Amino acid sequence: MPPTSFSCSFFTLQPRFNSYVNPIFRSLSFQLSSSPLPFNAHFSSIRLRSSLSRPAETDSPTGGRSGALTPGPSVGADVQKIDVNPPKGTRDFPPEDMRLRNWLFNHFKEVSRLYGFEEVDYPVLESEALFTRKAGEEIKDQLYCFEDRGNRRVALRPELTPSLARLVIQKGKSVPLPIKWFTVGQCWRYERMTRGRRREHYQWNMDIIGVPGVMAEAELLSSIVTLFKRIGITESDVGFKVSSRKVLQEVLNCYSVPEHLFGKVCVIIDKIEKIPVDEIKKELKAVGLSQEAVQKLLQVLSVKSLEELEERLGSSGEAIADLKQLFSLAEKIGFSKWLQFDASVVRGLAYYTGIVFEAYQHSHAQPQLSHAHPQGFDREGKLRAICGGGRYDHLFSTFGADDIAACGFGFGDAVIVELLKEKGLLPELNLNVDDIVCALDEDLQGRAAMVANILREKGHSVELVLESKQLKWVFKRAARVNAERLVLVGNSEWQRGVVGVKILSTAEQYEIKLDDLK
């Protein structure tokens, strides 16, 4: 049945609709069309008054909700008010923040899908031993760990890669190589908080297991660039510092530095932009490096171009070959402008073995530069690394399994949100529903609920007015939730098998049979 205009009986039998709808709608339409303020700003004062007048919800003694504004009976003079702030370094996600989180996570998942990765997840609580592989790693001192009631040492996961390795080992040969998995999971680290650094955060990981060549690293870097482009970040905003752990290994081999010191040296070098150089020298000497080895190492780590690195190390090493191939692939794929060689990048975790990379914000004072140029990144420490990763071919053997070629990255949610705020790139994410359904008489509320369910079964998002409210309130509520339609259930209309519909953007109104409601 095609939509028809409202019948006269609708307005005659429903005087509330006639007296409220038209003047209210005209008033709201005028405000929305003539004012430069954002849509939701017109209703902020309404929401404020509503929240101030609404009784606070508290837990009732029976476990339900109480509408009383004052607390329930006191259970003792020593009762203290609960601290309503989340633990230091953690976050609540009220609806507006949850919309932003979902928006970002959806981009993570969509990019992963575009690159053919499958989603996995792991327990937030893992065995502590999974994260305490090597002495000297900073992460050991940042664990939220404890002994459970079964006398087992457990920890909240500080990162996702060890859990990935555990699951790959568990699945064994039942999963054919290569494996391309991704996850978006919550991680916990007890660390000093700075801008973009929290004690809990969510992290997007993509990992490729079973591919030894640098084509895997190129694919991962390409996926991150795709994510940046989707959310409005350009190569003038962000760039990747790229190097290889093999560079450091070749220098240490020249001075006969024992293999077991390699991880400790990497942890120290990872602090090179966080503490003074003299402190770096002291720590390197403390772990057993000679004065000559320290001096040579710092000279190589200051190199910012592949050409200069090749002059110092020669062209026969694996590090130079891998890096040249990676930059060549980046040129062919189309993201070479995002990359810059920087020998000081080693990543602090001991399990990295080859190519490593970190994404940082470009400094505003510098133009966008390629891998051949020494400057271009923000050194002021306003934001920590946006993401980072690399190759970890020997991680599996630290858990007693055979090694498998592997590489991956971690991308935190907190830093990228800070950057998007700074760039003015955060999207406007308002609550939106398709329909708001209201009964015009209290005894029709059950029928209004039935109409709401009919629409929901057809895929509509529907807000059902759960109490008897004046139409003035309903229109204000519709504006707050950005509803497209108002569906009104009246008594005489219901008897004729129809409901009233008003298109809120155009003021078009009509009656329609329930069977034709879409």
Binding-site residues for L-histidine, please? 159-161, 189, 203, 207, 347, 351-352
The residue type of 41 is A
Asked if 367 and 376 touch (Cβ cutoff 8 Å), the reply is yes
DSSP secondary structure string for all residues of 294-351: HHHHHHHHT--SHHHHHHHH-SSSHHHHHHHHHHHHHHHHT-GGGEEE-TT---SSTT
Asked if 315 and 279 touch (Cβ cutoff 8 Å), the reply is no
Half-sphere exposure of 71 (CA within 13 A, CB side): 8
Q: How far is CA 17 from CA 298, 355, 435, in A?
A: 79, 68, 17
The SS3 assignment for 206 reads: strand
> How many helices (H) and strands (E) in the chain?
16, 18
Residue 364 burial class via C-beta count within 10 angstroms: exposed 0-12, middle 13-18, buried 19 and up: exposed
Residue 164 burial class via C-beta count within 10 angstroms: exposed 0-12, middle 13-18, buried 19 and up: buried
Residue 11 burial class via C-beta count within 10 angstroms: exposed 0-12, middle 13-18, buried 19 and up: middle
Displacement of CA 225 from its chain's centroid (Å):
16
Between the CA atoms of 107, 109, 111 and 114, what dihedral angle is there, to the nearest 10 degrees? -140
User: For the chain, how big is the Rg over CA atoms in Å?
Assistant: 30
The SS3 assignment for 374 reads: coil
Residue positions in the annotated binding site? 159-161, 189, 203, 207, 347, 351-352
Sheet holding 509-513, edge to edge: 462-464, 435-439, 485-489, 498-503, 509-513
Burial 21-31 (b: 16+ CB within 10 A, else e): beebbeebeee
26: tokens are: 């005209």
